[in-house]
Structure 1
């Protein structure tokens, strides 16, 4: 079902458990400390001058808190927010409708902003810089340009593919922030908070077991916590300890490195079918039976960050860690290839 870009509160369709686990203030947000400090300065400066926040762009892998930060900035500034997504904005008239409905110092949050069509994106240029819209009426000799003044506003964009943003759009953001994978200690704090909200008894060893299998991603950590809770409820374990968490995650086929079945299939194909590479993205995606975007956006970032594969100009190559996790050495892999 197509999202209505003019719906001012599509976030209310989120699952209830996702909303309740979100932090309610910037101080409750766990991790990304340097980013939080910078955002605090931006908020303080904007409040002191009575101006809207600078236009902000958050980028990084999925599940690290880009949307959560947008909601927290809205709460901290007391502004009204309208949310939409890049694919939902198919026509310029939809963007015009959103911009003209914003209240003074309001926030327009656009998720997956790199997927905004170019014809729609061009309306943002003058809106972001001068708070006005240049609208072309009619075509040909009868064409007229009309300028429409906008209330001062803030555009917050979120993307997993910052390289796909055009230079004119990227250059109009006053603050660009990269969200990186979380260390295990931060994930443990997050799991502790989530467990308290959910009302489950999670001990320190259980925290560690879930945190180190969460791929450095808060969204995954919370999802795994819910699955471990379900396992504990059915098996009637009162405490989510290391043993309970390990058994629950083993059923999900998530190993102690956080690798799941698709990760291992990718590494196995790279090592045993192509001798460790280099292999092109399209070839690798075809072998896995997945879309290229799925491999590039969901699988590769963590595997690269953990040192299992390298991305080179010639293609993807396996590192010694990939052979290690498969229980092979380079010589054995070459024998299997032959």
Structure 2
């Protein structure tokens, strides 16, 4: 089986100062559940996938193509690996950005063995020419190879072994309809509740041989933004503090570690707070456009919109309006600012703006 990838890692929210590295990927890979029974959370999606795989096994056919949609760090890659494990077939891992030409996809598809799982991470970023080839491959298990150039070019059909595509996307809305319609099952992964994250942290601590007290586990879960990947990384930071300072992994160690890495009690990191500070201190609470906010904090607009804003909106610290983003009373309270008495006109929250 190919070494596991890291779905959506390039945009995953993470504490300030934590840099993606081979060591981080190896750490997360070691903690990945190997079966549905070990996987914590996403109960509905797990039961749906289990039913789909069991039905395919009884009919002795390749399972329908599967699309896993949701924010980074919720387990899309892990579920794809479990699908391969449960079916007993090998898995081939690639990503949308790697499939920039039809030839790239053709070389992958032509080498698949019967029943193999093809996992395409960030599938919405696949090039258009490769997408069009993927349509035919997913539906009819064949592709057309162009031989020659110009007027003498001919199309040679190539039959493919039956296979299953498992696509992962953090932005399902960017998938073209023809591609989305070719998936037999679409799963939408949700953020985790604190009690589910406590189970994730407790399981990871056990695998790491780290004795973490219950209050410390609860604190890590509370600050993990509903995301198992972040919970595992925060646990690693706590382990570092306990190791360096030769202290038990208790609540004090957790609080110290998260203070060092700029993760506050709501799970906000340095960039999150910088955006809120700019919105309140520089723009009097808004409304202000996302590009202006990004320039103010020295980040790309796409980073602020894709990484920072969703969490701040979900926690009720900012709201989207027709005129721009505004800070909510909760944001003022969290940063310790006095809220202005006069309300700003036109600040009616409107999703999707």
1:136-177 CA-to-partner distances (Å, cap 9, x unmatched) read: 333443232221111111111111111111111111111111
Q: Which residue of 1 aligns with 2:204?
A: 194
Instruction: Flag the 1:140–1:312 CA change in 2: closer, same or farther, 3 A.
Output: farther
What SS does the corresponding residue of 1:27 show, helix, strand or coil? coil
What count of residue pairs does the alignment treat as equivalent? 326
What SS does the corresponding residue of 2:71 show, helix, strand or coil? coil
Q: Which residue of 2 aligns with 1:9?
A: 2
Cα RMSD over matched residues?
A: 1.8
Q: Is the 8 A contact 2:4 2:77 kept in 1?
A: no
Higher deviation after alignment, 155-164 or 274-283: 274-283
Q: Which residue of 2 aligns with 1:287?
A: 296
Unaligned stretches of 5+ residues in structure 2: 6-21, 344-353
Q: Which residue of 1 aligns with 2:338?
A: 329
Distance in 2 (alpha carbons) for counterparts of 1:298 and 1:9: 28
Q: Which residue of 1 aligns with 2:252?
A: 243
Q: Given the alignment, which residue of 276, 290, 311 partners 2:320?
A: 311
Q: Is the 8 A contact 2:115 2:162 kept in 1?
A: yes
Q: Which residue of 1 aligns with 2:172?
A: 162
- Are residue 300 (structure 1) and residue 309 (structure 2) matched? yes
Q: Is the 8 A contact 1:270 1:317 kept in 2?
A: yes
What SS does the corresponding residue of 1:28 show, helix, strand or coil? coil
Q: Which residue of 2 aligns with 1:234?
A: 244
Q: Given the alignment, which residue of 158, 174, 178 partners 2:188?
A: 178
Q: Is the 8 A contact 1:272 1:333 kept in 2?
A: no
Q: Given the alignment, which residue of 79, 87, 101 partners 1:77?
A: 87
- Are residue 276 (structure 1) and residue 269 (structure 2) matched? no
Distance in 1 (alpha carbons) for counterparts of 2:265 and 2:46: 30
Q: Is the 8 A contact 1:271 1:333 kept in 2?
A: no
What SS does the corresponding residue of 1:26 show, helix, strand or coil? coil
Distance in 1 (alpha carbons) for counterparts of 2:157 and 2:163: 17
Higher deviation after alignment, 272-281 or 61-70: 272-281
Q: Structure 1 length as normaliser, TM-score?
A: 0.92
Note the C-alpha offset of 1:134: 2.2
Equivalent positions of 1:107-126 (< 5 A) are 107-126=117-136
Distance in 2 (alpha carbons) for counterparts of 1:134 and 1:203: 59
Instruction: Flag the 1:245–1:161 CA change in 2: closer, same or farther, 3 A.
Output: same
Q: Is the 8 A contact 1:61 1:301 kept in 2?
A: no
Q: Is the 8 A contact 2:220 2:231 kept in 1?
A: yes
Q: Given the alignment, which residue of 263, 266, 276 partners 1:257?
A: 266
What SS does the corresponding residue of 2:89 show, helix, strand or coil? coil
Q: Is the 8 A contact 1:270 1:318 kept in 2?
A: yes
Whose helix fraction is larger, Structure 1's or Structure 2's? 1
Note the C-alpha offset of 1:250: 1.1
Q: Which residue of 2 aligns with 1:103?
A: 113
Q: Is the 8 A contact 2:4 2:81 kept in 1?
A: no
Q: Which residue of 2 aligns with 1:53?
A: 63
Unaligned stretches of 5+ residues in structure 1: 1-7
1:105-138 CA-to-partner distances (Å, cap 9, x unmatched) read: 1111011111111111110011111111123333
Distance in 2 (alpha carbons) for counterparts of 1:276 and 1:137: 60
Instruction: Flag the 1:312–1:163 CA change in 2: closer, same or farther, 3 A.
Output: farther
